[in-house]
Amino acid sequence: MAGEWEVVPAAPGDTAELHVLTLACWVGEALVNDDLTIPPLHESVADTAASLAQWDTYVVRVGGRLVGSVRGRLEDTTWEIGRLMVAPDLQGRGLGRVLLEHAERAAPPAAAAYRLVTGKASQANLRRYQRAGYRVREVLDGPSGPAVLTKQRRRSGRG
């Protein structure tokens, strides 16, 4: 199935579907972390639209349906990766890994490291990110953490 996934830049017309995908994915995160206050659950469609101007956002469609997304932006020399999400019915098929690898490759040359966050009780996410070379650096203070993970960027021409 990985061969059929084409990761492309998000367009303004993706906003509504991107918003729905965010809600579908973060409800599970909220339940796992026992935290209904996580920001993605409280953002509006207008917030999602505004985020497209603040982040390099990428999407995957299958059969016309938006099924995955990831975003990144440079903060000093760290490439912040966020909102890595796969439609709940397609999770476990490798799309998350494809999106994470794409986000890493999309980092500009100035990025020396990658950073992402996930809920401190999100064991599946933590395992996935650790398998990809990320390490937990700190757990922030809050009901769900979050756990902050980082990875140094290799300079061998690939992320």
Banded model confidence at residue 156, pLDDT cuts 50, 70, 90: low
Predicted confidence at residue 149, as pLDDT, reads 98
Predicted confidence at residue 1, as pLDDT, reads 46
Read off the amino acid at residue 133: G
pLDDT in tens, 90-129: 999 999 999 999 999 999 999 999 999 999 999 999 999 9
Number of domains in the chain: 1
CB distance 114 to 78 below 8 Å: yes
CB distance 72 to 106 below 8 Å: yes
Banded model confidence at residue 60, pLDDT cuts 50, 70, 90: very high
Q: Do the domain assignments include residue 158?
A: no
Q: What are phi and psi of 75, to 5 degrees?
A: -120, 105
The shares of helix, strand and coil residues in the chain, as percent rounded to the nearest 5, are: 40, 30, 30
Predicted confidence at residue 75, as pLDDT, reads 97
pLDDT in tens, 35-52: 999 999 999 999 999 999
Residue given tokens 């960027």 in the structure block: 153
Banded model confidence at residue 3, pLDDT cuts 50, 70, 90: low
Listed residue (110, 88, 115, 84) closest to 99, CA to CA:
84
pLDDT score of 2 more than 90: no
Q: Do the domain assignments include residue 68?
A: yes
Q: What is the pTM of this model?
A: 0.92
Q: Do the domain assignments include residue 157?
A: no
Whole-number Å distance between alpha carbons of 60 and 74:
22
Q: Specify the CATH number for the domain of residue 22.
A: 3.40.630.30
Whole-number Å distance between alpha carbons of 58 and 52:
10
- Could you list the residue range(s) of the whole structural domain that residue 128 is in? 2-152
Q: Do the domain assignments include residue 6?
A: yes
Q: Do the domain assignments include residue 159?
A: no
CB distance 114 to 79 below 8 Å: yes
Please list the residues that pair with 8 across neighbouring strands: 59
Predicted confidence at residue 142, as pLDDT, reads 87
Q: Do the domain assignments include residue 43?
A: yes
